[in-house]
Structure 1
Amino acid sequence: MKIKSYKGISMLLISILFLFAEHTITANVSLPSIFGNHMVMQQNADVKLWGWGKPFENIKVTTSWSNDTLKTVVNNNGHWSFMLHTPKSGETHHITIQGYNKVVIDDILMGEVWLCSGQSNMEWCASYGFINSEEEIKNATHEEIRLFHVNWRTSPYRCIDVDGEWIKCTPETMKDFSAIGYFFGRELNQKLNVPVGLISSNWGGTPVEAWIPSEKILGNPDLNDAANKVPYFPWAPNKPGYTFNSMIAPIIPFTIKGVLWYQGEANVDNSYAYTDMLKVLVKCWREEFKTNFAFHYAQIAPFKDYQKTSGVEIRDAQRRALDVIPNSNMIVVSDIGDTTDIHPRNKIDAGKRFAYSALNKTYGLTEYPLSGPLFKDYTINGNKVEVSFKYSEGLHCTEKELKMFEVAGKDLKWYPAKAVIKNDKVIVSSKEVKAPVHVRLGWTNSATLNLFNKDNLPASSFTTEEWSKVMHSL
């Protein structure tokens, strides 16, 4: 009897092993989460499709927009990939991947794909509340807007997948998605008449270093020193690379049109390095995604509770980044901010400004406004300083007098100055400074400027003093 029992157990174990073997043989092909039902793929582009399987497994891919059958073999690391050329927007598509098992991706739209990243102001959603949020939630049914939210994860090593899925934009799904991302996508969908895919990967309170590959920070003594000045935050990771590894790297090299970036509030402790940090981030991401994607970013909003002048230093560092980051543009939100709240609740206009920036610079629709006045150059004539701006057409003041201009001499002591507009330039002078050397505008954390251009977009704060070098030497 015991022998029969052993035989029975052996047969049971063999049956279980066969079941596991059968499952292994028939269920090997899998995809990262960024590929799934309801997704948007970048239209008319070369797109990489990748996944995993059993080594030496034969993989075939067919698409609804082509008669071709693509074939490959899973390598010894369990990876496979294909390059697909996508069609223009217009129809709904599907992709079939056949290995030992079959995976079908349904309800695919071709359109424009944008990655929305940064910290809390990009993360902010309707569930948190913003101006007119209840009405916007009710009207948020958009069949051609698809959302992919990357859930919070952190890792000291690069991850191969993220926790997220593509979903259609509805009142229920929109309310927990990036509000700025949603309003940006809605404008693009309406103005371009194409589907829009939005990938939201952000974490409130994260410094820029967390979104940069760690080796790019640790291998640069200056950037590493700056990164060490960021304090510990109990609400967010601050170590270099930790959110890049877990929330950006796994979706690379998914083809995107561009990136929206709203971040900087967590870098007020190392503002002097922010221009270089942002430059490194964009360069690294473009190398990883293997495309010179468009980069549109927001200058942080004025806020009174930053220490000393750290808030305006970040804004100036962001302004200066325009000169070192190709194919980029910066939106200014000082006039729609809230100096008492680090999270301004006018997300609608912020999203629209991002959209107009992209429509103009990325899509070539110049009827949409690109930027407010940006400092260009200055000329000293005796005791007067003539300041010129980019995007200065229709330069005007929204109040009786221009405010927040200052000048300084060689002693770098700053004095309030009188400023008047003449021929789309600003003439600045102060009785206290007979021989001016430098000029600046809005050099306070809470500065809300009253200098605008014809598009009614506000000027950015600026200074001609090289403050970042001074701060770095302290």
Structure 2
Amino acid sequence: MSKSSFLITLLLPVLFLFMVHDVRGNVQLPAVFSNHMVLQQNSEVTVWGWAKTGEEVTVIPSWNNTPIKVKADNLAKWQVKLQTPAAGGGPYTIKVQGYNTIEIEDVLIGEVWLCSGQSNMEWTARAGIDHAAEEVPKANYPSIRFFSVQHRTADAPQLDLNGEWVVCTPKTMIDFSAVGYFFGRELYQNLNVPVGLINSSWGGTPAEIWMNADTIAADKELAEAAAELKEVEWGPVQPGKAYNAMIAPLIPFKIAGALWYQGEANTGNPEEYAQLLPALIRNWRSEWNSKFPFYFVQIAPWKDYAPQQGVLLRDAQRRSLRVPNTGMVVVSDIGNNDNIHPTNKIDVGVRLANWALNKTYGKKDIVFSGPLYRDMKVEGKKIRIFFDHIGKGLVTKGKELTGFEIAGPDQKFVKANAKIDGNTVVVQAKSVKNPVAVRFEWSNAVDPNLFNTAGLPASSFRTDDWKVQ
């Protein structure tokens, strides 16, 4: 036997083993299942992946060591349901066995939130936030975990994405969503449970790209508005492009709720947003098969929007609160009229957390919203404005209440005198004898001074539905 023949004979069993391993090592998991992840507590969570058709897959979570078996279907897919315990134990492991074995380590059980939107959600401490020099070194929270979704687009819903879970440290926090981090920290400090934060956001993008394109196509008005979006160099504008690549692969990973900070890119057609945002919320809830809470941030005032486009978008967001189980954070007092990216991200995150702590987690002593317009009543030459979320009362910061305008049937608004009267505001102007409508802080750039006693600002609003010129 030649030397070469001898070597081939010797290596054949080894080569065969490699071939078998390559063919049979088929169990795979999506990227969202990785070491250091957080799973939603007290829930039935779905774990899914891929394997060789007909391959038996066994999933064993260490919190109960109960094996759950399933076979991959004819599309090479499998999924199982796991019942998670209450937060407080762990860290756990999850073993996934087929022809090969995957072990996910350092798994925590707690509260999982999805963060999405455009640049103000994506904004990091590295990009520049207030008190970054103090906050970054303090960001050592082993029970807070981050998952960052990389920018991708796709023409159809994808099965997986790139990313991994990481533990919150100064090194990881500095490049994660600042709003998301401060939200998560507030939840952790108040609930004392692990918090998982998934950030899937992209600066400068319109809401249309974050929805299933079929949702847009099924609505004539939304489809027409989407067709008017102009191409930009910094990101996609076509419906569904980010949804397909950055949201769909996360479904049905169990989440407690969603946070949304977006709208600046939709100011070109602001009144459409009152339909667009509710449609996005319904779309996500339908895809997840869950009526999870959806808390969003009203865009901050900025002087360089086209006339009235910024305030019209803010008002469209306010009107989106008609969707059940939603909440809106007003940031007009902590924005920057000269900067579309206000650097106070701490209070934004805290205010989002207050919505969640009160409405989702039952902390009823926490005031979570500033005054929101509810109703009006004409009283002779005056109009009385009624609000929700007044806390222990309305207050003004300054000697006089400002920002109110009033109009008669001619639809011409003039500056009004406004006074707090109990839990209401009474508005009037000498030149308007027969008032029919009121607007508040109706400008792209504002400096509000109407608050509740908890120090939260009132949202801009209008009582009319007249066409804005």
TM-score (norm 1): 0.95
CA contact (8 A) 1:25 1:100 kept: no
Judged with a 3 Å threshold, the aligned counterparts in structure 2 of structure 1 residues 7 and 280 are, in CA distance, closer, same or farther, namely farther
Shift in Å, 1:17 = 7.6
Letter in 2 for 1:269: G
Q: Distance in 2 between matches of 1:296 and 1:410?
A: 36
Shift in Å, 1:229 = 2.5
Q: Distance in 2 between matches of 1:15 and 1:236?
A: 52
Letter in 2 for 1:350: V
Q: How does 1:26-65 map to 2 (within 5 A)?
A: 26-65=24-63
- Which residue in the other structure is 2:410 paired with? 411
Q: Any stretches of 5+ residues in structure 1 without a counterpart?
A: none
Judged with a 3 Å threshold, the aligned counterparts in structure 2 of structure 1 residues 452 and 25 are, in CA distance, closer, same or farther, namely same
- Which residue in the other structure is 1:285 paired with? 284
Q: Deviations over 1:168-226 (max 9, x none)?
A: 00010000000000001011101000000000000000101010100111221100111
Letter in 2 for 1:348: I
Partner SS for 1:352: helix
Letter in 2 for 1:276: Q
Shift in Å, 1:437 = 1.1
Q: Distance in 2 between matches of 1:230 and 1:340?
A: 25
- Which residue in the other structure is 2:106 paired with? 107
- Which residue in the other structure is 1:197 paired with? 196
Shift in Å, 1:382 = 1.4
Runs (4 or more) in structure 1 with deviation over 3 Å come to 4-21
Pair 1:275 & 2:271 matched: no
Q: Distance in 2 between matches of 1:145 and 1:395?
A: 36
Instruction: Give identity over the alignment, percent.
Output: 49
- Which residue in the other structure is 1:23 paired with? 21
Q: Return 99-108 or 402-411, whichever deviates more.
A: 402-411
Q: Distance in 2 between matches of 1:163 and 1:229?
A: 31
Q: Distance in 2 between matches of 1:407 and 1:237?
A: 41
Q: How does 1:318-329 map to 2 (within 5 A)?
A: 318-323=317-322, 325-329=323-327
- Which residue in the other structure is 2:443 paired with? 444
Q: Distance in 1 between matches of 2:189 and 2:441?
A: 36
Partner SS for 1:269: coil
Pair 1:351 & 2:368 matched: no
Shift in Å, 1:15 = 7.7
CA contact (8 A) 1:52 1:80 kept: yes
Partner SS for 1:259: strand
Which of 309, 314, 328 is the equivalent residue of 1:330? 328
Letter in 1 for 2:210: W
Q: Distance in 2 between matches of 1:230 and 1:306?
A: 16
Q: Distance in 1 between matches of 2:350 and 2:215?
A: 33
Judged with a 3 Å threshold, the aligned counterparts in structure 2 of structure 1 residues 291 and 349 are, in CA distance, closer, same or farther, namely same
CA contact (8 A) 2:47 2:81 kept: yes
Letter in 1 for 2:367: P
Judged with a 3 Å threshold, the aligned counterparts in structure 2 of structure 1 residues 143 and 419 are, in CA distance, closer, same or farther, namely same
Q: Deviations over 1:27-46 (max 9, x none)?
A: 21010000011000000100
Q: How does 1:84-233 map to 2 (within 5 A)?
A: 84-91=82-89, 92-233=91-232
CA contact (8 A) 2:407 2:438 kept: yes
Partner SS for 2:333: helix
- Which residue in the other structure is 2:338 paired with? 340
Partner SS for 2:42: coil
Q: Distance in 2 between matches of 1:94 and 1:50?
A: 16
Partner SS for 1:138: coil
TM-score (norm 2): 0.96
Judged with a 3 Å threshold, the aligned counterparts in structure 2 of structure 1 residues 429 and 12 are, in CA distance, closer, same or farther, namely farther
Shift in Å, 1:7 = 8.7
Matched residues, number: 467
Aligned CA-pair RMSD: 2.0
- Which residue in the other structure is 1:79 paired with? 77
- Which residue in the other structure is 1:258 paired with? 257
Q: Distance in 1 between matches of 2:15 and 2:216?
A: 48
Q: Deviations over 1:134-160 (max 9, x none)?
A: 211111111100000001111111111
Q: How does 1:369-448 map to 2 (within 5 A)?
A: 369-392=367-390, 393-448=392-447
Q: Deviations over 1:57-80 (max 9, x none)?
A: 011111111142111111110100
Judged with a 3 Å threshold, the aligned counterparts in structure 2 of structure 1 residues 60 and 402 are, in CA distance, closer, same or farther, namely same
Partner SS for 2:125: coil
CA contact (8 A) 2:24 2:52 kept: no
Q: Distance in 2 between matches of 1:20 and 1:238?
A: 46
